[in-house]
Amino acid sequence: MSLIFFIRYDSTHKMAVKAWVILYMQLFNQKTTTMKKTITAIIVVAAMYACGNQNGTAPADNAAAGEEKKEASTNPSYDPERGEGKFKTVEVPATLDAALAEKGNKVYGVKCSSCHKLTEEKLVGPGWKGVTTRFTAPWIMNFITNTDEMLTKDPKAQAQLEICLVRMPNQNLSDDDARSLYEFMRKNDGVK
C-alpha cells in the first residue's frame, strides 16, 4: 500500500492551492500460485482549497514579490505593483472613510457578491479577505476597471485565472465606484 501526495505549489502566494491525495492499494490475490491477480483500487481525493491566499502577506515583504518582478521583466514597462490602467497613485487615508466604504458595500452587493465572498473562501473568484494586503490600491483599482488588459499582462491576475478557471468580466465601474469598493475592501480587512 502506498500513499502518494501531489501538491501543486502556487509560487505567487507561496501556498499549496490544491492537494491531490492518491491512495493506491495493490492487493495481490494469493489464491492461485500460477497466476497472481492484481486488484488495484485507486481512490482519489481531491482537496481543493480556497482560491487565493489564506495567510496574506504584503506583496513587498515576501519572496514571491521578487519572483513576480522576474516574470514581469520580460515586459520592462509593466509595473506589477501598480498594474495597468488609469490609476497611478491613490490617496488612502490612515483611517477608514466609513461613508465611502458604505457606498462600496452597495456596489459590492449589486456587482460583485455573486462571485466574491468577503471571507477567504473562493466562490467563482477569490474571497476578498486580505485582498488589500495582497495588492496595492492602484493595482486593485486598475484591475477592477481594466480587467481584460490586466488579465493579459499581470502575473498575479493570471495565476488567479489559472486557479479559478473563469475570467472576471469587465464590470463597467466608474472611478468613484472603484475607489468606494477599495474602501469597502479596507473595511472588510479591519481598517477602522
Residues near 37 by Cβ (< 8 Å), separated by ≥ 6? 28, 29, 31
Crossing angle of helices 63-72/155-164, nearest 10°? 100
Residue with cell 491613490: 90
Q: Which of 167, 174, 176, 190 binds ligand HEC (CB under 6 A)?
A: 167
Q: Which of 131, 142, 145, 154 binds ligand HEC (CB under 6 A)?
A: 131
Q: Which of 86, 93, 99, 169 binds ligand HEC (CB under 6 A)?
A: 169
Contact predicate 104/185, CB 8 Å: yes
Q: Which of 18, 19, 57, 111 binds ligand HEC (CB under 6 A)?
A: 111
The amino acid occupying position 163 is: I
Kindly state whether residue 143 participates in binding ligand HEC, applying the rule CB under 6 A: yes
The footprint of ligand HEC (CB under 6 A) covers 52, 111-112, 114-116, 124-126, 131, 134, 140, 143-144, 151, 157, 160-161, 164, 166-169, 171, 173, 181
